[in-house]
Structure formats: structure tokens, C-alpha cells
Amino acid sequence: MNKLTGAEIVIECLKEQGVDTVFGYPGGTILNIYDALYKHQDEITHILTSHEQGAAHAADGYARATGKVGVCMATSGPGATNLVTGIATACMDSIPVVAITCNVAVSLLGRDSFQEIDIAGITMPITKYNFIVKDITKLADTIRRAFTIAQTGRPGPVLIDITKDVTANSCDYEYKAPEPIERQNSTITEEDMEKALYLIRNAKKPFIFAGGGAVIADAADELKSFAHKIQAPVADSLMGKGAFDGTDELYTGMVGMHGTKTSNFGITECDLLIVVGARFSDRVTGNAAKFAPNAKILQFDVDPAEIDKNVKTYASVIGDVKTILKKLNARLDPVNHDEWLAHIDRMKDMYPLRYDKNLLTGPYVVEQIYELTQGDAVITTEVGQHQMWAAQFYKYKHPRTFVTSGGLGTMGYGLGAALGAKMGCKDKVVINIAGDGCFRMNMNEIATATRYNIPVIQVVLNNHVLGMVRQWQTLFYGKRYSHTVLNDAVDFVKVAEGMGAKAYRVTSKEEFMPVLKEAIGLNIPVVIDCQIHCDDKVFPMVSPGAPIQDAFDENDLKI
């Protein structure tokens, strides 16, 4: 048993948990931890981001791309509060992140001391759990517990706030191996399983809807076997991308506000909707009272709080969805739904995703990225039109290859997330797709990429407007473009070059593929500024508050 300072205990506990990379920004109260980190830089890589929000997003992207816990660090006061948006992003999408902050000494707490803030109180609604450590003897076990909580059941972010005197004090430390993370299976009952089996066996028009929980549970293999065994079409949510192979014949595309007509109409017509790890977000259901009106809804989810929260279910099984699907597959015989699948295929032919093939557009850029990477890249995005195009036109064959802010919709998320994803998946091509509005929010993280030579490719779909907001203003606000035009003097190529990156401007569709090939081959940070039209829109679309069967596209608007 060794006597270590609190700061050294933090580092040893991170090593216990297998942490190899942390993202952060130092400051006064966390200096002792950074001093200890300096002594262990050959064991833990620290990435100094340009802003603490970038550190939180990088930890989140690392977690999504690898399935491991992402770790970020910040000092007290503004350092800690700058993590808040990133913590909330991780919370909304159930991402295991441990955020470590430090605070003023115990004797200074509650006195409005310099850079003192109640970060535990601030983050309480947006963390799975949080701690403030005022006693060094409790530090090691608190850190271990935080990692366990972040990963158990439905994952989520955990914050540990440590007072500065705890990082300086000393106590005995003894190594402990991490607790194994058990899958939540005790809540899977035979009664629920029997009811599920009965519904599946008796369905004539079953439809599967896969959400982020299927990705988190690593249930892709089981989901594929299940879908083919019961011969059911499969749609996904934004968070569910990659849980089911986007090139599979049973795949129908995304569901919801910008989902395919085939998915939206199929779910409306089905008689059994099997929901695997999805929470019925309002962007998925549209008018929840009219969602899947002809179906009995069977929901599989690890979190009992999600059952009947947004949409009333007919039956449910609570527990780890990988285990649930594995148990179902073992007890189901293959069934034939040829007529139903033929109907779905006819809808696919009738309602393909369309765009103008003659111009440089967002969909064209995304399709070209797919053609070159063949679905093997990690795609991160910001939030807006480009995000929807990335979801619609790139075929995600594997889980953890689409990294995006779904629940919170955080503009400025993607570039930091791309850095984290690349640090976790060094053998993968990592491409962040952004709009110009999002890119300018956290484009300072290009400087982080160049400082460490993290070879991410930043593609900016630059329409000189806040595209998604403008789309709503066009369709629902009489074309009153209130504060959505960004047609100013900012030159992203010069900005990127000023931060040390290679940069290109693309103005025609013929230019894009050669530039992308060169960017991937260079293996350095690259920014590609693609000039697209300000009035390009994302279709199909469902008007806010309307049922998803009311999806429309540009052809419907001409009628």
C-alpha cells in the first residue's frame, strides 16, 4: 500500500480503468492533477483543446466511437461551466463520460471565492450521477464508482468535483481492478418474453424500429439475425444509425421528421412495431397520438422509465436489448412475410431520396464521401441540414460509425467529437460534416487538430445561412429570414490555413472527389469548404406537430 497525494490517486484510478486518453484544459484548482499527469504522460495522453466545451465533446466522441468511457477535465468556475453543454449532450444521448473538475479548498467553499462555482448543483439535472469529494480517503472509491455508474444499465455522464486541498493531501492507495460491467438481465421476465413471442409469431406486417440503445448494447449481430428470421423491414432513428446495416435489403431508412417516406408509411401501416432501444423522441413520432395507429407496439429497452413515457405500448421487455434479442432468436422459428416485404419494396421504388444531380449539393457531397470510404469511415456531424443529409445519404454498415448530437442538437459538437473519435480509432478515416453556422461556433478546435496532428477531415457545407432554420422560415414563416443570413466576410480557407491546416475551396461537383481523395491521402488536418446554394432543403419533411404519415417532399409542394 502506497501513500499518494489526491492528484496521484486520480491518475492511478484512471490507469486502473484503462483510460489512455483524456481531454481538458488546466487552471488554478486543478493544477495538482495536471502536475501528476505530467509525470504519467507516457501512460495517459492528454489533449489540450482550444476550449473546455471542445474537451467535453471530444470525450463524448471518443466514447461513442469506441464504446469506452470518455474522460474530460477542467478547472473550477468558468472551466467547469464550459463543460456543461458537452455534459448535457452526452446525457441526452446516454453516452458514458466522466468529467473531472476541481474546486476551491473546503475552507473556501460557500464564500464566493475566486472561480468558485457549485458545478455539482449546476450539472445535477444533466448527469446520471455526480459527486463532490471533500475527503481524500473517499477519493479512489468515488472515481471507481463513477466509472461503474457511467457504464451500467443505461449509460450516461458522471461528474466528479474534487476540492483542491483533497488533490494536495495524502493517504494510502491500493490498486483495485475495475468491477466487471454486467448486462442488465434480471428484469427480463418469462412472462414478458412469452407475450413478446406471441405478438411476433402472430404479426402479419411486423416492422422493426432501432434506436441508439441497439448501438450502445452492441446488438447489431442479434438485430440482423432477428430481422431476417421474422422477415421484417427495419428503420432507425438518428441515434440508431449503424445498428442495422444500411445496405441490407430489409433496411428502409430513417424514420421521423426527415425520415424516408417508406419508413414513415411502413410504420403507419404495420400491425406490430418492435422498438429496439429507442425512446420515441418527438422528432421520430411527430404527432405521438397518431404514431403507428394500426400497430401493437412492443418495446425493448434497458430503462423502465422509457416505457409508456411518450407513446403507449402494448407490451414490453425491460433489460439489455442484446440479451433480449439473443433469447428471442433462440426461441423463434423463421417466418415468411413475402407479401409485406414486397409492398415495402414497392414503396422504396416509389419514394426514393432525391436531389438535383447537376449541382454541388449536400447530398452529393455525402454520397461522394460514402463512395470513397465505402461506409468504413467514422462520420461525425454538427447539427442542422448537413446532419440530416449525412443521416440520409451515407450508408452506415456498422455501429459506432455515426457520431452526432441527437437529443440536445448541439451546434459546435462535431469537430470536438471528431478529434475524440480519431484519438479512439486511429486506424479509421474520420470526417466531420458541418454547416458554416455550426463550424464557426467551435472552429478553433482546428488549432487542436494541428497542434497534435490529429488527421481529421472537416467538410463544411457552406450555404452562407443557418440552413435548417432558414428552411423552417421558408416553409412556415413566410420567408422572413430573421438573423439567419451569414453572408459575411469570413473566409474559412484562410481561417483554417491560419490555424495550420491544409484547406480547399470547392465550388463545383467535379472538384469535390479529387479534393477528398487528396485530403485522405495527406493524413493531416484538412478543411474542405464546399459552396452550396442557400435554398437547398432537406426532404422528406414532416411539419412540426403533424403525424409522420404526412411526410412531404418538393414534389408534393408543387401540387
d(CA 15, CA 296): 48
Q: Are 559 and 491 in contact (CB under 8 A)?
A: no
For residue 214, what is its C-alpha cell?
441497439
Active-site residue set: 52, 114-115, 164, 468
pLDDT at 111 over 80: yes
Cis peptide before 206 (omega within 30 of 0): no
Instruction: Tell me which residue of 92, 149, 101 sits closest to 125, measured CA to CA.
Output: 92
Q: Which residues contact 265 (CB under 8 A, 6 or more apart)?
A: 347, 351, 549, 551
Q: For 12-48, how does the pLDDT look when each residue is reduced to its tens digit (9 = 90+)?
A: 999 999 999 999 999 999 999 999 999 999 999 999 9
- What number of H helices and E strands is found in the chain? 24, 20
Task: Give the model's pLDDT for residue 559.
Answer: 63
Percent residues over pLDDT 90 in the chain: 97
Cα 385 to Cα 143, 231, 258, 409, distances in angstroms = 39, 33, 10, 12
Residue 2 pLDDT class (50, 70, 90 cuts): confident
pLDDT at 1 over 80: no
pLDDT at 381 over 70: yes
d(CA 193, CA 434): 43
> How many other CB atoms sit within 10 Å of the CB of residue 87?
29
Q: For 508-519, how does the pLDDT look when each residue is reduced to its tens digit (9 = 90+)?
A: 999 999 999 999
Q: Are 267 and 207 in contact (CB under 8 A)?
A: yes
Is the entire prediction scored with pTM above 0.85? yes
> Which DSSP string do the residues of 256-315 spell out, in sequence order?
STT--HHHHHHHHH-SEEEEES----HHHHBSGGGSSTT-EEEEEES-GGGTTSSS--SE
Instruction: Tell me which residue of 122, 75, 128 sits closest to 97, measured CA to CA.
Output: 128
Q: What angle do CA 524, 526, 531 make, to 5 degrees?
A: 165
pLDDT at 254 over 80: yes
Q: Are 276 and 300 in contact (CB under 8 A)?
A: yes
pLDDT at 320 over 70: yes
In the chain, the domains with their CATH numbers are 2-173 (3.40.50.970), 190-350 (3.40.50.1220), 362-542 (3.40.50.970)
In the DSSP assignment, the letter for residue 184 is -
Percent residues over pLDDT 70 in the chain: 100
Q: Are 392 and 369 in contact (CB under 8 A)?
A: no
> 3-class DSSP state for residue 345?
helix
Mean pLDDT of 226-250: 98
d(CA 155, CA 91): 8
Q: For 120-165, how does the pLDDT look when each residue is reduced to its tens digit (9 = 90+)?
A: 999 999 999 999 999 999 999 999 999 999 999 999 999 999 999 9
Please provide the size of the chain in residues.
559
Kindly report the average pLDDT of the chain as a whole number. Answer: 97
Torsion of CA 464, 469, 471, 472, to 10 degrees: -160
Report phi then psi at 516, rounded to 5: -65, -45
In the DSSP assignment, the letter for residue 157 is -
